[in-house]
Amino acid sequence: MTGRLAGKRIFLTGAAQGIGLAIAKAFLREEAALFLVDRDSDLLEREAKAFGESGEKVAWLAADIADAATITGAVRQAAGKIGSINALVNNAGVNVFAEPLETSDEEWSRCFDVNLKGAWNCCKAVLPGMMEAGGGVILNIASTHAFTIIPHTFPYPLAKHALLGMTKSLGLEYAPRNIRVNALAPGYVSTQKVIDYWNSFPDPEAAKAETMRLHPGGRIASPEEIAMAAVFMISDECPFMNATCLTIDGGLSVQQHPA
């Protein structure tokens, strides 16, 4: 299909790699206009220019979503580049995994500054324009950590639980203004972060095999599979889907014990 996102002017964070980059590519195939944000300026510029060379309508800015003033300015800049933002994808995030009592104040702050406050900064920046335009859609990329707990991953699940709570709260608050707010919860996805996780073990191949064994289908998701779900949730194909979360984890979070 093509044209499913025609007319969507999307502010996408964490766009330079992994799930965010896959989402950007899928959105462009469906004829959206994009304003891309990422902290990695070099990587973002390289990927964004590659899109631009294909004639697609893309603008970008290197920014830290934890900085509210910067994000407010970025949304203003986005409006000047691609038009008033009518869709937001809060994809940027940071893994902070530790034992609870070994978590430093710096780790705690960074986890919540990016995974929760950063997402709120983006929501707060785009909501006035959406209300003025008569509607919009927000998609928060959560995680299965938003409703399950894996030991030794503190405080990341706390932030993702809170992100899911914010999704529901904003979804109800702004439903009368024709603004849908939903979340997408991936499980394991074959990104560089997951590869780095496997490589942190003495036997990376054994670690990878153990991850695959946890999944009923014996594999994990590709970034493209998450991206196509994001296309659906941003599109007008689910106009009554609001204040909820779509889980894409191959059934991992449903089973009590691996087979």
CA distance 104 to 88: 31
Retrieve residue 128's tokens.
């006035």
Is residue 156 flagged as an active site residue? yes
Retrieve residue 118's tokens.
């950063």
Residue with tokens 């003495």: 202
18: left (phi over 0), alpha (psi -120 to 50) or beta: left
Nearest to 251 by CA among 241, 239, 259: 259
CA distance 42 to 44: 5
- What length is written for the chain? 259
Which among 156, 174, 188, 197 is annotated as catalytic? 156
Retrieve residue 92's tokens.
């940027």
CA distance 40 to 257: 38
Could you list the active site residues?
156
